[in-house]
Amino acid sequence: MKIEVRATGLKAMREKRGLTQRKLAHDLGISQNYIPAIEANSRQAGPKLQQRGRRSSTLQRVGGGRRRNVTGGKTLENLPRVGASSYRPAARPSKIVARAIAEYEALLDHGASELAIQKFLAAHPYFWNGLLRMGNDLYSKIRLGDEYEIDFVICDPSSDGAEWHLIEIERPTAKLLTKAGDPTRELTHALGQVREWQRWIERNPDYAQKLMPGIDHPQGYVFMGRRSELESPTARERLRAINMQNRANVEVGTLDRFAEQARSVLTWGPSHHKPRAKTHRELRAGLRPDMLSYIRSDMGHDRQFIKERRRRTRFDEDWPRGKAGDDESREVTVIRPVKALRAPIVERAPRRSRKPSQIKGKKKSGPTRGPRD
* CB-based contact 267:94 (threshold 8 Å): yes
The Cα 182–Cα 330 span in angstroms is: 29
| % of the chain residues with pLDDT over 70 | 65
Helix and strand numbers (H, E) in the chain are 14, 8
DSSP secondary structure, 82-138, as one string: S-GGGGS--PPPPHHHHHHHHHHHHHHHTT--HHHHHHHHHH-GGGGBTTB-TT--E
Tell me how far apart the alpha carbons of residues 201 and 217 are, in angstroms, rounded to a whole number. 9
pLDDT of residue 36: 74
Query: Pairing relation of β-strands 219-223 and 250-253?
Result: parallel
Which residue in 312, 28, 305, 298 sits closest to 163, CA to CA? 305
How is the chain split into domains, by residue range?
Answer: 3-79, 111-333
The predicted pLDDT at position 356 comes to: 52
d(CA 69, CA 60): 5
How far is the C-alpha of 226 from the C-alpha of 237, rounded, in Å?
Answer: 16
Strands 66-68 and 60-63, sheet pairing? antiparallel
Annotate 201-231 with DSSP letters as a single string. HHH-HHHHHHHSTT--SPEEEEE-S-GGGG-
Specify the CATH number of the domain 3-79: 1.10.260
* pLDDT value, residue 351: 52
DSSP state of 297: S
Alpha-carbon span 330 to 343, nearest angstrom: 28
pLDDT reported for residue 58? 40
Say if residues 219 and 309 touch (Cβ distance below 8 Å). Answer: yes
Measured between alpha carbons, how far is 126 from 355 in angstroms, rounded to an integer? 61
Nearest to 200 by CA among 145, 248, 245: 145
pLDDT at 312: 72
> How do strand 148-158 and strand 3-6 relate by DSSP bridges?
unpaired
What's the confidence (pLDDT) of residue 52? 54
Asked whether the beta carbons of 142 and 150 are under 8 A apart, the reply is yes
Instruction: Name the stretches of the chain with pLDDT < 50.
Output: 1-3, 5, 54-90, 322-349, 359, 362-365, 368, 373
